Chain A
Amino acid sequence: MEGQLNRIKTYINGFDEAISGGIPEKHITLISGTAGTMKSSLCFNIIYNEALAGRNSLYISLEQSFESLQQHMDGMGLNSENMGLLKIDDLTKIDQVIRDAKASGKGNILLADVGCIRKEIKDIKVGDNKSWMNVIKNIVKKVKAEIECKVFVLDSMSALYVLSRFENPRIELFYIFEFLRDMGLTTYLISEMPLDGSQYSEFGIEDFLSDGIIHLRLSPFRRKMVREISVPKMRATNCNNDVFSLEFKNGQFNALYGGQNPLL
């Protein structure tokens, strides 16, 4: 069965090999870590490479603005010449952005800047039966219905909790995961971990509901902080559970020294 699954690469040298070639398509994966562990960068790198390969992805940012992400991308040396980076900052212009993506003839990242959308509609009264969760769902549905889109990144779950003010997180998260499964997208949920490292997500239930967890962390080693990556959970995948050092050099993520101390 494992061999029959299509997989989406993480585009991390040395890491895809450790997870049978990539993350199974349509799986929901938590990208968990504390601040500064390059969670967003890693996800952005995946969809950037998907776009270079001619495929469309959707990135919904609840925290960073489009401009900030674009600067981030430039800082990583990711060149946007051979792919499209399209901004959704106005809910009335989604159709236009989708048309632009269709007409571009190349792979695109559709980046929904929810912070900007919030500013845009701040004078519109939003009642109890209208939630930001629905905005996210409706953007996903619309993009999925209109164009070929395989990968979805939600950045981040913590911001979603603040924005949506879940009354019953266990139930509401269950339905969010059900929704994402119904959409059939390979989904990356960026998750801020509590500092004590007791669970990979805010409520813990996300750990059970997700199909996979990629754990990023910062570890002190010889008076240096070293980024590390590991896979505590990956359904339908024969995983190498080693902890790797994670480096980003020359526009490329590398996973090194699996199961061994880094040679610093």
Chain B
Amino acid sequence: MKFTFGLKNVLKGKKRGKIEEEWKYDSQSTLLAPPVIADLSNNGHKSIIFGTKDGKICSIDVNANVQWMFNTQEQVGDVELMFLDADTASSIESSPNIADINNDGKKEIVVGSEMGNIYALSYEGELLWKFKTEGSIRAPVLINDINGDGKLEILFGSGDKNLYVLNNEGKLLWQYEAGSSIESCPEIVKGNIVFGCDNGELHCINNLGKLIWKFTTNAKITAQPSVGKLFGDERTFIVVGSTDNYLYMLNLDGELIWKFKTEGAIYSKACLADINNDNKLEIIFGSCDNKIYALNSNGEKIWSYETDFWVVAPPIVDDIDGDGKLEVIAGSYDHNIYILDSEGSYKLDYVPGVSGVLQQAGNYTDVMTQEPGRIEGKKLWQYKTDGIIVGCGYIGEDHKLIVNTKPGKINNLAHKE
């Protein structure tokens, strides 16, 4: 048994610099979903696009200047209004999706609303088309060329229990009756479409809307499935969390490979990334047991980090401090953004004589045995915002983090030396 402590890493640590707020923007409305960052007009300038609870879709630049604002202005009659929850009737509950759907060289914004409408906006925030369903749309749309015709299609689920596929002009191509409300964004797996339902089922249908298989969990699936070659070979797998507290890994035939139990509901998409350079993808996700988890491709926990409340927003994996190593960025309902060392930290349970020194925080990446201790999540930075964090966007080139909070504030955070 090889047993080394990597003392130089213990003493050196990894953390340097700090996380600072560059600006804060008040959207004047509750926010319920992460922002999206995109270069809308393909001129090299990024925009931050988000929807609000009072029914607006907004674009601001990276210095928090408003570029445009589109008001969905859902018009309903007096009687119909009585059937709506006035607090949420106008809500935009999901992030927009951005793509050049009409091949005009600019990017369009497509987003659904609580009233069941899909809006397609130009890069300047003008309405291009609108499509009405009979149920709420609470997940982002997927934009993909699913039929290979060279044009993008728009796929989304609705509270009316249908998965819809529209062409790039907002015309219905086909719809699939799922038998349950859909609050999960679909994902494409080898040409097929996979999505979760409120009855706990994960459906896989082909690109013509024919069911291929179903996998059943014990509670609602709101997370978008993640798809990747987890073992670093040619095999592709599907990873999805359910509000039954389990994270599932399935093969392309919908057969369970493994499941991992947490103590809380899993609401959002897991992030797949090679965080430890082993040429396999690790799985990073949050749970309502307050923890952020990193699992290996066999479904074994590498580390977890416990926050003070639910972790609902999807985590981001990137190198925010520019040191060449990845960090895990996750927002919690405890109002804090946590930036964690993607490799975690080796913590010794007890070693007589030296444990007093070695229990201190530090990197133990060259420890070759797990017997004397375990790897735990290691916090590098923590930043407290004004409220519950509903999601983050990331500007990769600038290493900037855009954080949406429920009270309506958008924080721009950056790493400073």
Contacts and interface: CB of A to CB of B under 8 A. Distances in A.
Contacts of A138: 81-84, 86
Contacts of A131: 83
Please tell me the size bucket of the interface on B: 20 to 34
Nearest to B133: A127
Nearest to A137: B85
A91 B84 contact: no
Interface in B170-186: 181
Q: Which of B80, B82, B136 has the most A CB atoms < 10 Å from its CB?
A: B82
Interface in A107-158: 121, 124-132, 134-135, 137-139, 141
Interface string B219-240: 0000000000000000000000
A129 B79 contact: no
Contacts of A129: 84, 114-116, 135-136, 159
Nearest to A133: B85
Contact of A167 (B82, B85, B114, B198): B198
Nearest to A136: B82
A68 interface: no
B78 interface: yes
Interface residues of A, number: 19
A134 B82 contact: yes
Contacts of A121: 79
A92 interface: yes
Given A92-B78, A167-B198, A130 B86 contact: no
B100 interface: no
B306 interface: no
Nearest to B79: A91
B160 interface: yes
A128 B160 contact: yes
B85 A128 contact: no
B134 interface: yes
Interface in B1-53: none
B83 A135 contact: yes
Contacts of A130: 80, 83-84
Interface in B345-396: none
A91 B114 contact: no
A128 B82 contact: no
A168 to B, nearest CB: 9
B181 to A, nearest CB: 7
A141 B84 contact: no
B79 A92 contact: yes
Contacts of A139: 82
A139 B84 CA distance: 11
A135 B160 contact: no
A91 B181 contact: no
Contacts of A126: 83
Interface string B51-91: 00000000000000000000000000011111111100000
A190 B161 CA distance: 33
Given A129-B114, A129-B115, A134-B85, A124 B79 contact: yes
Nearest to A127: B134
Interface string B282-305: 000000000000000000000000
Contacts of B160: 127-128
A69 to B, nearest CB: 21
Contacts of B86: 138, 141
Contacts of A137: 85
Contacts of B81: 138
Nearest to B86: A138
Contacts of A132: 83
Interface string B85-111: 110000000000000000000000000
B93 to A, nearest CB: 11
Contact of A134 (B83, B136, B181): B83
25 contacts: A91-B78, A91-B79, A91-B82, A92-B78, A92-B79, A124-B79, A125-B134, A127-B116, A128-B135, A128-B136, A128-B159, A128-B160, A129-B115, A129-B135, A129-B136, A130-B83, A130-B84, A132-B83, A134-B82, A134-B84, A134-B85, A135-B82, A138-B81, A138-B83, A138-B84
Interface of A: 91-92, 121, 124-132, 134-135, 137-139, 141, 167
A-B pairs with lowest CB-CB distance, top 6: A130-B83, A128-B135, A127-B134, A128-B159, A129-B136, A138-B82
Given A129-B136, A141-B86, 18 more contacts: A91-B79, A121-B79, A124-B80, A127-B116, A127-B134, A127-B160, A128-B134, A128-B136, A128-B159, A128-B160, A128-B161, A128-B181, A129-B115, A129-B116, A130-B80, A134-B83, A135-B83, A138-B81
